[in-house]
Amino acid sequence: MKEMIKIERERVQSNWGFWLSLSIGCTIAIAQIIMEVGRRSQDIIGGYRNDASCYLPSVFNSWIGGSGFSPYSFSYRTIFPILAILPCAITYFMDMKTGYVKNIFSRTFRRNYYISKYLVNFIAGGISVVIPMLLNLLITACLLPSLLPSTNNLFAPISGSMLVALFYSHPYYYILIYMLIYFIYGGVFATLALSLVGFVHNIFMFTLCPFLMYYCLGIIASYIYNIHIGSWSPIYILDLTQPYKVKLSAIIIEAVLIGTISSAIYIWRGFKDDIY
C-alpha cells in the first residue's frame, strides 16, 4: 500500500494537470495582487478619510479571499472544481481508458490501487486549490499591514455570519479555518470526478461535469436558501466575506453528502467492474 501511494504521489508530481492547475490558480492570484493589492499599497495613507466609513487598506480586506466582489476572487471560485480535478482525477480516467490498470492489477491487489488513488486524489485536489490562495495571502501580507478588521466599517463578514467574532479578533485563525474548508471541498470535488469514470467516456466532458454539478448546486441553493441553514451554494460557501450568511451545518452536510455519495459510487464501480 505504501509503495502504491508513493507511486501515485510521484505520478501527480509529474502530471501536467497538476502543474496546469497550479499555474491557472497562481496566475489569477498574482493578477489580483498586481491589479488590486499593488495599487492599494502604493499610497496607503493617501486614501484615508477621517470618518467612520473609511478603513486603511489591510491584508484582510485586500487579499483575494477578503475581496469577495473582486472579479479575480469570483473567477477563482467559479473554476474551483476544475482546479481540483486536474492534478489527479484525470490520471484515473486515462488509466481506465488506456487499460493501464491492467498492468497495475497484475502487480498488486486491486484494493491497493483504488485506496491509494482515492487518498492521493483527495489530497492533490485540496492542495491545488489552497496553494494559490496562500501565495496571494503571503504576498499581500508583504505589501499591506495586517490591521485588525474594524467593526464600525462596511466590512465583511457581517454580524451573524459564521465565525464572525473570530474574524474580528483573530483574522488569521479565521483564514486558516477557511483554508481547511477549501482543502476539504477541493478533495470532495476531486472525489466527485472519480465517481464519474465509467459514466463519462470523453475527457472533455469528464473535466466539465464536476463544474456543471458545482454550478447546478448554486442554482438549487438559490431555491432552498430560506431553510434557515445558510447558503448551500459552494461558490458562496467558499467566499470568506460571506455575502449570504453561511452556517457550519450547511458546509458539513453538503461536503459529507457529496463526498459519501461520490466515494460509494467510486468504490462500487471500482470493485464491481471487470476491466478485462
At residue 151, does pLDDT exceed 80? no
The single-letter DSSP state of residue 200 is B
Phi, psi of 99 (to 5 degrees): 85, 15
At residue 202, does pLDDT exceed 80? yes
The residue type found at 245 is: K
What is the total count of domains within the chain?
Answer: 1
Lowest mean pLDDT among 6-20, 107-121, 179-193, 210-224: 210-224
Of 169-183, 204-218, 233-247, where does the model show the most confidence? Answer: 169-183
Lowest mean pLDDT among 94-108, 122-136, 165-179, 227-241: 227-241
Alpha helices in 89-163 (DSSP H): 89-98, 100-105, 110-143
Tell me the pLDDT band of 48, cut-offs 50, 70 and 90: low
At residue 44, does pLDDT exceed 70? no
198: containing domain: 2-272
pLDDT at 50: 58
Rounded mean pLDDT of 129-144? 95
The pairs formed by 137-142 with CB atoms below 8 angstroms and a separation of 24 or more are 137/59, 137/63, 137/64, 137/65, 137/175, 139/30, 139/33, 139/37, 140/33, 140/37, 140/59, 140/62, 140/63, 140/64, 141/59, 141/63
pLDDT at 72: 94
- pTM (predicted TM-score): 0.90
Candidates 149, 142, 154; CA nearest to 171 is: 149
Q: Residue 211: enclosing H or E segment and its boundaries? A: helix 203-224
Hey, what's the cell of 254?
A: 453538503
Rounded mean pLDDT of 35-58? 68
Instruction: Give Cβ neighbours of residue 220 (< 8 Å, ≥ 6 apart).
Output: 232
The single-letter DSSP state of residue 34 is I
Q: Are 58 and 144 in contact (CB under 8 A)?
A: yes
The residue type found at 52 is: A
pLDDT tens column, 79-116: 999 999 999 888 888 888 888 888 888 787 888 888 99
